[in-house]
Structure 1
C-alpha cells in the first residue's frame, strides 16, 4: 500500500496546488462584486450591472476564455436557476452562493466540458443538485463547502455521458436531504476527503466508478433511519470494462458515527480495498457486504451499532473473495449465506456466526 499512498499524495499535491492562494487573489480575468446591485467586470470592461446575481455570474463566466479565471467576490442568491461553466474555465466562489431547487437540475452545472476547475465554492440553500456533472474530462474541485437545507450535494449523472479523470480535494456537506456526493460513470477518480454531517442518505456513494482513490470519508448522522451508508458501493462499482473485479478502488479510511450504515457494498460491486475503518453506533449495519466480489477491509474497529453482515440476494451471484480484518465490540458478526472464499480475521467481544 506504500505505492498507493505515494501516488495518492502525489495526485493530491497536484490537485491542491491550484488552491494554495486565497480565493480571488492575484488578478482574476473577471470578477463579480457588489451587494444588492452586482457588477461583473472582465478586466476594465463591465459586462453586467444590475440586481440579478446569477446573471452577473453567468456574464462574467461567458466573458472569459479557456484557461482564464472568474472570482465571484459577492454573496447573493441565484434562486431556482443554474450557473453553467464551459470548458477550460476556472470558477472561484469566494462569496456565499444561495440556491433554490430547480427540478432535475444543478445550481452549478458542467456538461460535456474539459478542464474545468472550481478551486473554491461556498453554497447554501436547498438545491435539487448543488453541483451536477456529466461528460467531463479533467474536472478539478478544490475546497467545496455546501451548507444545505435539503437536496443533494454533488451529483454525476447516471444516464448521460461518462466522466474521466475527476479530482476533488476537500468536500464538506451538511444538511443535504439526499447524498453528500454521488458518482456515476467515472473512470479515474481521486478524492482527498469527503466530510458529511447530518445528510439524509450517503456520505459518498460510488456507482459504476473505476480506478478510484479516496483518502478519507467521514460522516456523522448520514442516512439515519435508512439503509444508506457513510460509504456505499453500488451498481457494479469497481467492475472493469472486461467484466473483472481486479482491485481498482482504494479507500484509505472511513469514519462513521450514528446515521444508517457505516459501509455498504451491494449490487455486484467490488474490486475495492478499504485500509482502515472507525465505525461506531450506526443505526443499521455497521458493515453490509451483499453480492460483492474482491472486497477487502484491512483493519480498524467497530463499536456498537448494527451487526457486521455478509449477505446475498438470489438474483445475483454470491459474495466472492472477501477479506475482513476487524476488531468488533458491542455488536455481532454474521455471514449468511456462506460466501465463496471468505476470509475473516476478527478480534473483540462481538458474537460471531460465520462460516
Structure 2
C-alpha cells in the first residue's frame, strides 16, 4: 500500500531488500496501489522547436534525481548517492526533496525522470527548490490540497511539469515570494489546475511562462492576492470554468489567453477579472471560441487594458463589463455569439471610464445602465443600443 505522509530524513543505501522492508513498515493502509503502468509523457499540441529543446534539457543540472518505473521500482539519488530505492514513486520523490541541503540559500533542483502515480498524496516544496517532472506525474485526490504545492516559502520554481489525474488542485500556492512556473502541461479530469489561495497571505513576484490546461471541471488558473504577476501564454481547452481568472491581483502583465470550449453553459469566461482585481493589469490578447463568455470584468475590478480580442461564437456574452472602472479594450473582433454588454448591479459602483474599440459582427452591443465616461469606437454590422 502506498504511503500517505512524507519521510524527510536522508536514507543511506543498504541494499534493495532491506529498504523494501523499511518501506513496508512505513506504508499506511487504505490507499490504492500505484498503477501497473505509467502514463505516457505529454507535450503541448502547439509545441515549438524551442519547447522541444527545453523538454530535451529536462533533468540537466539536477542535484537530486528520481528514476525507475512501476515494474522495476524507483531510485532517488542526491549528487550520485542513493537516498531511496524501493517500490513507491511518492516516497522516492519525498526522499529526493528531503535530501537537499537543509541550509541552502539558493536553489537546488530535483528532477523526476520517472512516470507513475503518486496516489492520494501531496508534494510540498520548501524554499530555494526547483522541482521538475520530466516524465508524467499522475495524481490522486487530497481534499483542499494540491498534488504539488508551495505555501509560505520563497524562491521556488517548477521548470517543467506534465500532470494528469483528478486532484483537488493540480498546483496550489499561497504566501510565496519569487515563484517561477515554466512549461506546465495539465491534462486533468478533476479539480482546478492552478490555484493561488484566497484565505491565506498573498504572493509576490510570480512568473508563469506557458500553461496548457485541458479537461478539468474547474478553472485552468485561478489567482488571489498576487502583487507582481507575469504570464506568457495560457491555453485552455475543454475546461469547465475559466481559462484564467485573476482576483485581487495587481501589477500584472499577461501575454495571450487562448480558450476553446471554456466555461460552456456557465457565466465564466476564457479571461475573467473579479473581486477587486487590479490595478495595473495589461493583457496583450484574448482569443475565445465557443464556451461561456470571452471576457468578463466584474465586482469592482479596475485598471486593466486588453490590447486585442478575437472572440467568436461564445454561448454567453462575448464581453461583459459589470461594475468595473478604468477598463480599456483597445481593439480586435467579435463575431457571432453572445452580445457585448456593459451592465451594473446595485451592490457595487457603476461602470466608470470604460473605453471600447472593436469590430462587432453578427451580434449586438448594449450598454444598460449607462456608465460614467464610456467611450465607444465600433465598426461592423452588430446592432447597437449604447449611451
TM-score (norm 2): 0.84
Structure 2: give runs of 5+ residues left out of the alignment: 1-49
Instruction: State which of 181, 199, 213 in structure 2 corresponds to 1:159.
Output: 199
| Residue number in structure 1 paired with 2:293 | 261
Offset, 1:44: 2.3
Structure-to-structure mapping, 1:49-198, within 5 angstroms: 49-65=85-101, 66=104, 67-198=107-238
The answer to whether the 8 A contact 1:273-1:297 is kept is yes
Q: Give the SS at the match of 1:177.
A: coil
How far is 1:27 from its partner? 3.4
SS in 2 for 1:116: strand
Question: What is residue 31 of structure 1 aligned with on the other side?
Answer: 65
- Asked if the contact 2:89/2:118 (under 8 Å) is kept, the reply is yes
Summarize deviations over 1:46-87 as a string: whole Å, max 9, x none: 111112111111110111134211110000001111001110
Aligned match of 1:46: 82
Taking the aligned partners of 2:188 and 2:168, their CA distance within structure 1 comes to 11
Question: Of the two, which has the highest radius of gyration?
Answer: 2
Question: Are 1:236 and 1:268, in contact at CA under 8 Å, matched by a contact in 2?
Answer: yes
CA deviation profile, 1:83-110 (whole Å, cap 9, x unmatched): 0111011111101000112111100010
What's the secondary structure of 1:115's corresponding residue?
Answer: strand
Offset of residue 21 of structure 1: 7.0
Q: Is the deviation greater in 23-32 or in 179-188?
A: 23-32
Q: Which residue of structure 2 aligns with residue 329 of structure 1?
A: 361
Contact between 1:24 and 1:72, CA under 8 Å: does it hold in 2?
Answer: no
Larger relative strand fraction: 1
Provide, for residues 197-238 of structure 1, a one-character-per-residue CA deviation record: whole Å limited to 9, x for no partner: 000000000000000000000000000000000000000000
What's the RMSD between the two structures over aligned residues?
1.3
Query: Structure 2: how far apart are the matches of 1:55 and 1:232?
Result: 38
Structure 2 distance, partners of 1:337, 1:54, is 55
Match of 1:7 in 2: none
Q: Which residue of 2 aligns with 1:233?
A: 273
3-state SS, counterpart of residue 275 of structure 1: strand
- Taking the aligned partners of 1:237 and 1:346, their CA distance within structure 2 comes to 26
Cα drift, residue 151 of structure 1: 1.0
Number of residue equivalences = 331
Counterpart CA distance in 1 for 2:193 and 2:124 is 16
Are 1:22 and 2:56 counterparts?
A: yes
The structure 1 segments of at least 4 consecutive aligned residues displaced by more than 6 Å after TM superposition are: none
- Distance in 1 separating the partners of 2:87 and 2:212: 30
Distance 1:25 1:269 in 2: 41
Mapped to 2, the partners of 1:185 and 1:280 lie a distance apart of 31
Alignment partner of 1:178: what SS? Answer: coil
Partner residue of 2:330 out of 298, 301, 313: 298
* Counterpart pick for 1:275 among 307, 310, 313: 307
Does the 8 A contact of 1:292 with 1:318 survive in 2?
yes
Determine the C-alpha separation between the residues in 2 that align with 1:324 and 1:138: 35
Match of 2:386 in 1: 354
CA distance in 1, matches of 2:362, 2:84: 61
Q: Which piece of structure 1 moves more, 201-210 or 78-87?
A: 78-87
